[in-house]
Structure 1
């Protein structure tokens, strides 16, 4: 992806207020956004759209964020998307499990959006 193109970001969270806030934040920064409210829809959207990065809630209905991350990593897409977990789960074991599932970073809600932005764009070079 050239830096001339908008980075493509998949955002999945079952909380509509958080989803709206994420969309507003990243849209103002120039991202092209697609959203899902559950893990199955997020996975289907990922497979159809091939985003550069995904911000995924860990605890979503139908398929949790970690299962989505594992399936994305299993597909072995190239280039590899950046995956960031957001969760209300704050224990160290929860963070380790997210990283083992294929996430590049794990943030606890409420998140500092500049930190999420840095994690999402670190590998993409934007």
Structure 2
């Protein structure tokens, strides 16, 4: 359940729905009920009524690195569903190699990764000629009292604490305040 349920709740909430968990007790299993609003039925749009495809927000190149593969893969799916191209790594060394190869617009980095932690990766990115333009988002399980400003000192633009509210994550990636 953990982060998975938090991700599901945030995704469903973004679509105006609700999630409820039911259990009769330990060893009795769990039922999850997801409720989403019905979409209104519309007649197909005529060709002249079709929205322009160039008017929306452009997809970003996002690099996501977290040593929890399940969390990383869920976040990657969310970001891909938003139209972003996502490259995923599970340690800091891989994150640096992917960043060097793909030059992302945004990097979402876990702090406590093996190989090189998120602070080290952020400092490395900022030391690259292309690194000043990258939006760096720290995602950590460590509470605010543990950080002591290290995220900002390392070059992160935004710091989020797990479990991450998906609206806040999307806002951080897109560079806009959450709704």
Q: Which residue of 1 aligns with 2:171?
A: 118
**What's the offset of the Cα at 1:89?**
0.8
Q: Indicate yes or no: 2:122 matched with 1:69.
A: yes
Partner SS, residue 110 of structure 1: coil
Across the two proteins, how many residue pairs are aligned to each other?
A: 121
SS in 1 for 2:100: helix
- Report the CA distance shift for 1:78/1:20 in structure 2 as closer, same or farther (over 3 A): closer
Could you say if the C-alpha distance between residues 97 and 55 of structure 1 is closer, same or farther in structure 2, counting changes exceeding 3 Å? same
Could you tell which deviates more after superposition, 77-86 or 59-68?
Answer: 77-86
Q: CA deviation at 1:4?
A: 6.8
The one-character-per-residue Cα deviations of 1:83-123 (angstroms, maximum 9, x if unpaired) are: 00011111345161011100001111100011111112117
TM-score by length of 2: 0.63
Compare CA radii of gyration and give the structure with the larger one.
2
Identify which of structures 1 and 2 has the higher relative contact order when contacts are C-alpha pairs closer than 8 Å and 6+ apart.
Answer: 1
- Tell me, yes or no, if structure 1 residue 86 matches structure 2 residue 139: yes
What aligned pairs does 1:10-49 form with structure 2 within 5 A after superposition?
10-49=63-102
Q: Which runs of 5+ in 2 are unaligned?
A: 1-55
Deviations 1:52-108 (A, max 9, x none): 000000000000011000000011316611000011111345161011100001111
The Cα RMSD (Å) is 1.7
Q: Distance in 1 between matches of 2:97 and 2:130?
A: 14
Runs of 4+ that moved beyond 6 A = none
TM-score (norm 1): 0.89
Tell me, in whole angstroms, the C-alpha distance in 1 between the residues paired with 2:58 and 2:169: 20
